[in-house]
Structure 1
Amino acid sequence: MTDARSSTSLDALFNGYRRFRAESWPELRKRFESLADGQAPKILVIGCSDSRVDPQQILGAAPGELFVLRNVAGLVPPYAPDQAHHGASAAVEYAVRVIKVERIVVLAHAGCGGVNALLNGAPPEASDFVVGWMGIAARAREAVDPTLEGDARQQAGEEASVGVTLQNLMTFPWVRERVEAGDLALTAMHFAVRNGCLRCRDESGGWSAVPVE
């Protein structure tokens, strides 16, 4: 059964699809037809599930250009091939070993609820899975300067969380092998929702804004 609210939300999706068909599909049709038999993106983007941070939109990518993994806080756990349920690791494996992407981008963002839960504790409603999941980034919490407060502390946690994911990616033997061979690059980015600023981390660990022109 569907109530009025769920019906309204479904109508919104259908209306969005109609706009897509009317406004975007004519221009994108040939591209989708060319993608119908397979994909060959060069970039894997690992980002947060947050509704405000769509990697394809932020990076101006066309369909088929990005292979995207999104979860709470954009985390990847350490390599653990134990046949358990590893959705994030499965996506990384498929992107690196099957599609053979050339770059992995870990995209963090300002105001990340997962990082806030890591730093300040998760609400009771998020205790079944979020707490354990964010435990992957426990090292990030330990890396944050305890003298920081407010937005500065939150941002430091987001940046440190990206660092943990990059470190965890290097525990995957086939990621490390391709990185060391020069066939795969790892990049960290951070998007500010309020002002649209995208920053990129350099090899020394510093962050700088990506020029808009």
Structure 2
Amino acid sequence: MDELKTLIDGYKRFYKKFFEEQKELDKNLFIKPQTPKFLVISCCDSRVNPSQIMDTKPGDIFVIRNVANLVPTNESDGKPHSVGAAIEFAVKHLRVKHIIVLGHSQCGGIRALMEGKHSGDEYDFIDPWMDIAKKARENVLKDHKDKSFKDQCSYCEKASIKISLNNLMAFPWVKQKCESGELNIHGWYFDMETGSLLSKQGETFLPVDKLLLK
């Protein structure tokens, strides 16, 4: 139970800060409908918290988290698709202005992808999920075959962001809003070792500050 105490103590601090010390501010925030301008598609890695990295407040960003921050292909087959449903909600209902695919260094999902298929039932769910980014793995193994495994993983982490961006554009209502200027999509990459936040610009990744200079 010691592990749970950490969370319970954290909740008490949260309650005091947001429901006692700033009561009026947050009362309005939670009564009114949410109106985030950003959808962030992030990894579920416990070390990568979009709200913390971008220092946002409750209500600022709508977040989807999954293994390796992947966007699956558009499959309108009438079956449940959690990522597609969340993207649709953000774009059609919340009318977000930006979608950010946020990748990161030392991603366990990408590492599993780069290792290749695993034997038996070791990764019954992870392997099929990571197949979404298998093209990224193939390209990395072809273009960077002489690099170390660590470097290959780093290349793949960035390459998989491009795949997710392409898959986003396969949703017709995302494509339509991007073409009309109502929506912008971005690929960002957080380096956990250095704290750097990079943005995909063309075929390279540059510090996000460069976006403000355009």
Secondary structure class of the residue paired with 2:182: coil
CA contact (8 A) 1:46 1:70 kept: yes
Deviations for 1:2-56, whole angstroms, at most 9, x for unmatched residues? xxxxx22222211111121234544543343222231000000000000000000
User: Structure 2 residue aligned with 1:63, among 55, 58, 64?
Assistant: 58
Q: Is 2:179 the partner of 1:172?
A: no
Counterpart contact for 1:108–1:162, Cα < 8 Å = yes
Matched residue of 1:201: which SS? Answer: strand
CA RMSD of aligned residues (A): 1.8
Aligned partner of 1:41 in structure 2 is 36
1:147-175 C-alpha deviation (Å, 9 max, x unpaired): 22233211100001100000000000000
**Any idea what SS the aligned residue of 1:128 has?**
coil
Counterpart check, 1:198 vs 2:197: yes
User: The residue matched to 1:106 in structure 2 has which SS?
Assistant: strand
| TM-score (normalised: structure 2) | 0.89
Paired residue total: 205
1:13 has 2:11 as partner:
no
Q: 1:162 aligned to 2:161? A: yes
Q: Does 1:139 align with 2:138?
A: no
State the one-letter code of the partner of 1:68.
Answer: V
Structure 1 spans left out of the alignment, 5+ residues: 1-6
- 1:37-186 to structure 2, matched below 5 A, reads 37-121=32-116, 126-144=122-140, 145=143, 146-186=145-185
- Maintained 8 Å contact 2:18/2:26: no
Deviations 1:78-122 (CA, angstroms, capped at 9, x unpaired) = 111112221111110000011010000000000000000111136
Instruction: Note the alpha carbon deviations across 1:170-208, whole angstroms, 9 max, x for none.
Output: 000000000011110010110011121111111x22111
Distance 1:24 1:126 in 2: 42
1:130/1:28 CA distance change after superposition, 3 Å: farther
Cα distance change of structure 1 residues 142 and 30 upon mapping to structure 2, 3 Å threshold: farther
For 2:20 and 2:87, locate their aligned partners in 1 and report how far apart those are by CA, in whole Å. 32
Distance 1:94 1:161 in 2: 23
Contact residue 44 and residue 66 of structure 1 kept, 8 A: yes
AA aligned opposite 1:82: D
User: By how many angstroms is 1:126 displaced?
Assistant: 4.7
- 1:44 partner SS: strand
The answer to whether the 8 A contact 2:118-2:127 is kept is no
Normalising by structure 1, we get a TM-score of 0.90
Rounded to whole Å, the distance in 2 between the matches of 1:189 and 1:28 is: 32
Q: 1:196 to 1:26 in 2, by over 3 A?
A: farther
Q: Distance in 2 between matches of 1:123 and 1:25?
A: 48
Q: Unpaired segments of 5 or more residues in structure 2?
A: none
Counterpart secondary structure, 1:187: strand
Residue 3 of structure 1 is matched in structure 2 by none
From the superposition, tell whether residues 46 and 148 of structure 1 become closer, same or farther in structure 2 (CA, over 3 Å). Answer: same
Secondary structure of 1:127's counterpart equals coil
Residue identity in the other structure for 1:142: E
Contact 1:122 1:130 in 2 (8 A): no
